[in-house]
Structure 1
Amino acid sequence: MSEHVFYSWSAQAELNPITVAGALGSWFWDDTGKRYLDFSSQLVNVNIGHQHPDIIAAIVEQAQILTTISPTVANDKRSELATMIAERAPGDLNRVFFTTGGAEAVEHAVRLARQHTGRTKMLAAYRSYHGGTGVAIGLTGEPRRWGTEPTNVDVVRFFGPYPYRSPWETTSPEEETAAALKHLEMVIQLEGAQNIAGLILESVIGTNGVLIPPPGYLAGVRELCTRYGIVYIADEVMVGFGRIGEWFACQAWDVEPDLITFAKGVNSGYVPLGGVVISEKIAQQFDHTPYPGGLTYSGHVLGCAAGVASINVFERDGILKHVRSVGEDVLGAGLSKLGESHPSVGEVRGKGFFWAVELVKDPQTREPLTPFAATGADNAAMAEVTKAAKSRGLWPFVAGNRLQIAPPLTTSEDEIRQGLEILDEVLDVADSLMR
């Protein structure tokens, strides 16, 4: 580890990261030659896989023409990508403000909501992560916000649906939806709808559990926001651009937000890029009034060139169809089968190429394998499970008491099955750690 690199979310002296020497497709390898099957897409962003030749060629071609240009002028790749995104977004979300990442996208989505409504307060879920910058970490509900508080963000949090650990002890997904929407409306009324600018919600909760919204929930959120004049922001930084088999995850539930934040999968992180897709009713407010915000690298041409190439590859190679079919028939079915044979698996849930295996000490009480927000010795069990996976050449996304499975969307059926075979051995280790 370089002594001059300061790492994110880490105690610096306790780190001993591997040194990655290269990557290709669904695999990467360290400087000793050890290979890892990437079941995390790094940080759930390398949707198109590592070192895709078409994306590399697009970046090289663009670099030979123009490497960077101010966002105050027009550029063909910037315009082309914005058009492609708008054409694939739901409803009248047809304007795109580009950023360099997801946290910045959230910052500007909130600013747009506040400018549009003239209000300041935001609603956000407890089980959420929206980014590490000022407003974004203030909106975040999970424990990573604790070390940054007070954030001075005008935010009120609510409980979203989580059928496996229902706050309302419901017995069906439908009951969970009804209870969650009743709770949300009560929060709106108690906070005063006239004070609330926007509600931000991950269409599928990502780092905090891969929580798939139960039937009717997102539609109910949309209805409440419409009724109370609240801007509905769908945070799709993690699940946009094919992760669950749709261009935007909200389309799987036929829901049209007012704003959509994106990043990660738009070009798989080959060049930093993010943005906000804006509905016409909000965008028109700034037709003759300046929008109070901007970024030096908004719509960076190298990032946009990579995004255009990525969408073209998605279309040509039928990647969305691949995610839907393989995600259900191979990955989802395989994980469910593993869940049935390992007592440490409390629940398997997910959609497309985005799944969570929730590990427990006791399947009856559903006590997590490690406590909530566990660190150090309290997190020893999950550390052991993680070590077991990596030692066998499988690289999962680990969060809390969960192994979250998110391979590149180009991962083949054979590679998925290979990963599942390794995971079967890893879950044997998890089983041995139950009390």
Structure 2
Amino acid sequence: MTSKDTNRTGPGGQASKEAVKSADRAHVFHSWSAQGQIDPLAVAGGEGSYFWDYDGNRYLDFSSQLVNTNIGHQHPKVVAAIQRQAARMCTMAPGFAVDVRSEAARLIAERTPGDLDKIFFTNGGTEAVEHAVRMARLHTGRPKLLSAYRSYHGATSAAINLTGDPRRWPSDTASAGVVHFFGPHLYRSHFHATTEAEECARALAHLEETLAFEGPESVAAIILETVVGTAGVLVPPPGYLAGVREICDRLGIVFILDEVMAGFGRTGSWFAADLFDVTPDLLVFAKGVNSGYVPLGGVALSAAVAATFDQRPYPGGLTYSGHPLACASAVATLEAMAEEGIVENAARIGETVLGPGLRALAARHPSVGEVRGVGVFWALDLVRDQATREPLVPYNASGAANQPMADFAAACKRGGLWPFVNMNRTHVVPPCTLTESEAKDGLALLDDALYAADAHTTAGTAGVAGTADIAAATGVRDLRAGRLL
């Protein structure tokens, strides 16, 4: 046995923590990371709203991993469906008609708004965006695309150029035919608005002006996240999406809604578009369609866009389009969501527990500038000063400049809460299956951890110098081991 083979298993034959960490550091190249500056947690398992490490520390998953485990970890019906499908048919090329592929498409189309009845399957959200914009360009014969700042649409060629946050910068070719504009965000309004109605009207006017200067006859599509996800859980004001729909109709532009993060129960409805009574021409999905158990995404096409390719071949495809294991997991996920009332649970928990609870935290903590969200899709905008709305950390902060958010995240994890943190925000995005008691536990842990953020505000926390003192002063709860820190 060589040195590479030592210490590979622990009790019961399970890989040891040390072996997992060692192999990760030696061989795994992690996304969006400086490889020498990260120390990934070694995860041993998960169930429902929790996952745990090799030391037995349990974490309430308020991130849903990457906002995708909508039905929680290890849902038994979906695990069983994957096992059954693997025993019967692991894979089949996309050119064949396969029962689980057809059924997954039917169940998705049954839930999409309007006439979005044809489903093109991909392996994830980024590929779905790539194909949606290709379809739009071919359908219209136009080259240009418009997308919003404060957005994320993926990391491959077209998708990263569509993205409106700093992850785009290193890969932006400045030649991809993408123009960015400002969408509505009243709390940090680009339009000096004071009401939702003003913000909506001025954002639509800005979009119209951008189109006028770009030449609407050159624009193939406008793509928006129905509810903006990673950039802050930005719920559009009433009338905005309907206004974009009207502009697209008037100018012959394809309207694409990206529901990779917002879809399949996250907002308390099957799709966020349902909340605004808007039907796009193309709807992009992934993540929640099967809770990420097997990679799957797709595009739902309107009848008009689909008809473009009735006699003209669509020039695109993937070896794993509609992979049987992925589709089987989607069928089981959608059936479980319907049978167990999971979408309704997300709406109820958001309205009766998370929304009121987060607003109560905002009233207590000087670090919370704004609470926004719907269903199990929420964000706290953390600030240094509530009056000036100065963010708790600068835009795209790193290193020492990001210490306030690092302190807050560390406090969450010490208590047994796994947060989703981006820039100056923490997102509250637990599974759609979250129970009322789990939601209340999570809010209590979040309450404790926010004192770490409060210490960095202009108001400060009298007599508390740092996160260690804050924990001692407030008695931070620890769900991992049932103890006070």
Q: Which TM-score tier does this pair reach, normalised by the shorter chain? A: over 0.9
Structure 2 equivalent of residue 281 of structure 1 = 304
Compared with structure 1, are the counterparts of its residues 131 and 359 closer, same or farther at alpha carbon in structure 2 (3 Å cutoff)? same
Q: Give yes or no for the alignment of 1:401 onto 2:427.
A: no
* Percent of aligned pairs sharing the same letter: 58
Q: Give yes or no for the alignment of 1:418 onto 2:441.
A: yes
Distance 1:55 1:72 in 2: 25
> Among residues 111, 120, 144, which one is paired with 1:88 in the alignment?
111
Tell me how far 1:227 sits from its aligned partner: 0.6
Distance 1:321 1:23 in 2: 24
What is the number of residues matched between the two proteins?
435
Q: Give yes or no for the alignment of 1:177 onto 2:200.
A: yes
Q: How does 1:96-111 map to 2 (within 5 A)?
A: 96-111=119-134
Distance 1:338 1:262 in 2: 32
Q: How does 1:5-404 map to 2 (within 5 A)?
A: 5-150=28-173, 152-404=175-427
CA deviations on 1:38-80 (whole Å, 9 max, x unpaired) are 0010000000100000000000011111000000111000000
Classify the secondary structure of the residue corresponding to 2:405: helix
Tell me how far 1:127 sits from its aligned partner: 0.7
Distance 1:236 1:132 in 2: 16
Distance 1:97 1:6 in 2: 30
Tell me how far 1:158 sits from its aligned partner: 0.3
RMSD: 0.7
Distance 2:173 2:119 in 1: 32
Cα contact 1:113–1:197 (8 A) shared by 2: yes
TM-score (norm 2): 0.89
Distance 1:419 1:279 in 2: 40
Cα contact 2:346–2:434 (8 A) shared by 1: no
Classify the secondary structure of the residue corresponding to 1:220: helix
CA deviations on 1:186-217 (whole Å, 9 max, x unpaired) are 01111011000000100000000100000100
Higher relative contact order (CA 8 A, sep 6+): 1
Tell me how far 1:152 sits from its aligned partner: 3.1
Classify the secondary structure of the residue corresponding to 1:93: coil
Cα contact 1:134–1:151 (8 A) shared by 2: no
Which runs of no fewer than 5 residues in structure 2 stay unpaired? 1-20, 459-485
Distance 2:438 2:162 in 1: 37
Tell me how far 1:326 sits from its aligned partner: 1.1
Distance 1:5 1:47 in 2: 26
Tell me how far 1:247 sits from its aligned partner: 1.1
TM-score (norm 1): 0.99
Classify the secondary structure of the residue corresponding to 1:286: coil
Which of the two has higher C-alpha Rg?
2
Q: Provide runs of 4+ in structure 1 moved above 6 Å.
A: none
Tell me how far 1:248 sits from its aligned partner: 1.1
Tell me how far 1:149 sits from its aligned partner: 2.4
Tell me how far 1:115 sits from its aligned partner: 0.4
Distance 2:374 2:223 in 1: 21
Cα contact 1:46–1:268 (8 A) shared by 2: yes
CA deviations on 1:140-169 (whole Å, 9 max, x unpaired) are 010001111226311000000000000111
Compared with structure 1, are the counterparts of its residues 99 and 159 closer, same or farther at alpha carbon in structure 2 (3 Å cutoff)? same
Tell me how far 1:384 sits from its aligned partner: 0.7
Classify the secondary structure of the residue corresponding to 2:353: helix
